[in-house]
């Protein structure tokens, strides 16, 4: 069964991990034995058990395997499952939203009623919007700290609505919850008789739509690497969108070279065709000089290539110089910022940038090739889209 990725966003300590813990615990998505193990570890360390420790334990596992910088927890629904994604910071948030076909499709924004709207609350929203996340729920958490008072909830809700409108989100659902005590997360709370809306779980189950499959979009195969085997080049990468089959005529961008797919394989062996989401290796009828950053498509595709790109961008921090590194899909190129001339931290602007080598982009903005990241000395400083 396909899992729907849902990313948790919001300011530090506003309860993201606790909410994930509460959701997986009350839905029975985690085994009792696992919960007991974590409780015992806490006890042995002289610590009080916290729901967030459920998520921490997944994180530690990942760290041991050194696989990921995000933590994913499986939440079981009635007819479909969700992958709840917890991200430690901006960089990880952006990377997790940028992972194309497997990236987040919905977000839950957590706001602590005690602290209210903070810097990261807004920044995460701006990033989510720029990266194309349209499905959003706003969690007003720690309601137990204000005795579940309606007035406190309404106040944050009204303030937040203005910000959401400014960023471009409309008709967003708000949930007064206590992740800690479990109110309105899976079970409806009797402490909020004034609240007639859904629980967080009902929202996920009834309002989050599975987006159209990337399979029906034009072929976009992102070449990550090339290696040789018995004199033949094998190009490996991810089918970000569309389908590819052996025998098919293909075109490479930005070079516009044409070739024919000879064979397709994945880690299990050879196959006749591959679809969006598949990691594959292909061989061609002729060896052509290609590198990371090349994109395989079909002639007539809507993908474009160019050395001048523009669009909307969110500046996490302002650049220290004009020469930056631009990443788009698997391409990583040196780039010079033309506009805007002056930038403030945490601002949203238009941009124009010249890249040293041409890059391939998706003007429809649907796939990962419609999004860019800018790095300054190896650090992500901005994230944007290409129009």
249-253 vs 258-266, strand pairing mode: antiparallel
How many of the other CB atoms lie within 10 Å of CB of 29?
17
- Pick the closer one to ligand GDP by CB: 27 or 184: 184
Instruction: Please tell me whether residue 71 binds ligand GDP under the rule CB under 6 A.
Output: no
Burial class from Cβ neighbours inside 10 Å (0-12, 13-18, 19+) for residue 230 reads exposed
Check binding of 141 to ligand GDP (CB under 6 A): yes
**Rounded-to-integer distance, Cα 367 and Cα 209, Å:** 18
Which one, 11 or 371, has the nearer CB to ligand GDP?
11
Cα–Cα distance for residue pair 47/33, rounded to 1 Å:
19
CA torsion, ordered 350, 352, 357, 363, to nearest 10 deg = 50
Using alpha carbons only, how large is the chain's radius of gyration in Å? 23
Q: Does 12 bind ligand GDP (CB under 6 A)?
A: yes
Residue 312 Cβ vs ligand GDP, minimum distance, rounded to whole Å: 27
Nearer to ligand GDP, 54 or 374 (CB): 54
CB 52 to ligand GDP: min, Å = 4
Options 115, 144, 233, 376; binder of ligand GDP; rule CB under 6 A:
144
Q: Which lies closer to ligand GDP via its Cβ, residue 69 or residue 215? A: 69
**Nearest-approach distance from CB 86 to ligand GDP, in angstroms:** 7
Min dist CB 308 to ligand GDP, Å, is: 40
Applying CB under 6 A, among 5, 6, 7, 18 the residue interacting with ligand GDP is: 18
Among 5, 9, 16, 137, the residue binding ligand GDP under the rule CB under 6 A is 16
Binding segment for ligand GDP (CB under 6 A), chosen from 9-17, 130-138, 148-156, 331-339, is 9-17
Question: Is 366 a binder of ligand GDP (CB under 6 A)?
Answer: no
Q: Residue 136 has which token pair?
A: 């959003």
| 146: its two tokens | 């204000």
Both tokens of 386, joined, read 């290409």
Residue 13 near ligand GDP by CB under 6 A: yes
Are the beta carbons of 328 and 359 closer than 8 angstroms? yes
- In the bound state with ligand GDP, the residue whose beta carbon lies nearer, of 174 and 180, is 180
Q: Which residue, among 205, 97, 204, 189, has the nearest Cα to 144 in the 3D structure?
A: 189
* Rounded Cα distance, 54 and 62, in Å: 13
Q: With binding defined as CB under 6 A, does residue 27 bind ligand GDP?
A: no
Name the DSSP class of 184: T
DSSP string, 113-141: TTT-S-HHHHHHHHHHHHTT--EEEEEEE
Phi/psi-derived region of residue 25, left when phi > 0, alpha when psi is between -120 and 50, beta in every other case: alpha
Task: Determine which helix (DSSP H) or strand (DSSP E) holds 40, and give its type and residue range.
Answer: helix 32-44
Shortest distance, CB of residue 167 to ligand GDP, whole angstroms?
Answer: 20
On whether the CB atoms of residues 5 and 74 are closer than 8 A, the answer is no
Of the candidate residues 4, 5, 9, 15, the single one contacting ligand GDP (CB under 6 A): 15
Which of 6, 7, 14, 373 is the binder for ligand GDP (CB under 6 A)? 14
Contact with ligand GDP (CB under 6 A): which of 42, 50, 115, 202? Answer: 50
**DSSP letter string, 136-161:** EEEEEE-GGGGTT-HHHHHHHHHHHH
Q: How far out from the chain centre does Cα 95 lie?
A: 6
Site string for ligand GDP, 147-186 (x = CB under 6 A): -------------------------------xxx------
How many residues lie near ligand GDP (CB under 6 A)? Answer: 17
Closest C-alpha among 101, 341, 337 to residue 220: 101
**Nearest residue (CB) to ligand GDP, 50 versus 357:** 50
Q: Which is nearer to ligand GDP, 19 or 343 (CB)?
A: 19
Interaction between residue 53 and ligand GDP (CB under 6 A): no
Q: Identify the residue among 4, 5, 17, 54 touching ligand GDP (CB under 6 A).
A: 17
Write out the residues near ligand GDP by the rule CB under 6 A. 12-18, 50, 52, 110, 141-142, 144-145, 178-180
């Amino acid at each position: 069964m396909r899992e729907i990725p849902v990313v948790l966003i919001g300011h530090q300590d506003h309860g993201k991990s606790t909410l994930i813990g509460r959701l997986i615990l009350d839905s029975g998505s985690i085994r009792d034995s696992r919960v007991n193990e974590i409780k015992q570890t806490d006890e042995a360390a002289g610590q009080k058990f916290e729901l967030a420790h459920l998520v921490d334990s997944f994180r530690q596992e990942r760290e041991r395997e050194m696989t990921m910088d995000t933590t994913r927890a499986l939440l079981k629904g009635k007819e479909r499952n969700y992958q709840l994604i917890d991200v430690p910071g901006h960089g990880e948030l952006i990377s997790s939203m940028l992972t194309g076909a497997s990236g987040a499709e919905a977000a839950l924004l957590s706001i602590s009623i005690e602290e209210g709207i903070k810097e990261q609350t807004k920044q995460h929203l701006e990033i989510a919007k720029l990266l194309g996340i349209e499905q959003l729920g706003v969690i007003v958490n720690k309601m137990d700290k204000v005795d579940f008072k309606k007035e406190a909830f309404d106040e944050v809700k009204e303030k937040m609505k203005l910000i959401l409108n400014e960023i471009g989100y409309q008709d967003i659902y708000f949930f007064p919850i206590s992740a800690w005590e479990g109110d309105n997360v899976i079970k409806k709370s009797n402490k909020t008789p004034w609240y007639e809306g859904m629980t967080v779980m009902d929202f996920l189950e009834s309002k989050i739509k599975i987006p159209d499959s990337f399979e029906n979009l034009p072929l976009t195969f992102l070449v990550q690497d090339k290696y040789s085997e018995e004199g033949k080049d094998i190009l490996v990468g991810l089918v970000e969108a569309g389908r590819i089959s052996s025998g098919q005529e293909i075109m490479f961008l930005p070079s516009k070279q044409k070739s024919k797919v000879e064979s397709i394989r994945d880690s299990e062996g050879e196959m006749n065709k591959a679809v969006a989401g598949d990691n594959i290796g292909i061989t061609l009828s002729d060896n052509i000089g290609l590198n990371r950053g090349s994109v395989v498509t079909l002639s007539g595709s809507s993908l474009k290539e160019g050395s001048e790109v523009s669009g909307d961008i969110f500046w996490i921090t302002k650049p220290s110089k004009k020469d930056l590194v631009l990443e788009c899909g698997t391409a990583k190129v040196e780039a010079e910022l033309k506009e805007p001339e002056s930038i403030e931290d945490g601002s949203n602007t238009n941009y124009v940038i010249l890249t040293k080598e041409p890059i391939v982009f998706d003007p429809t903005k649907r796939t990962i090739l419609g999004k860019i990241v800018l790095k300054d000395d190896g650090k992500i400083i901005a994230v944007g889209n290409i129009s």
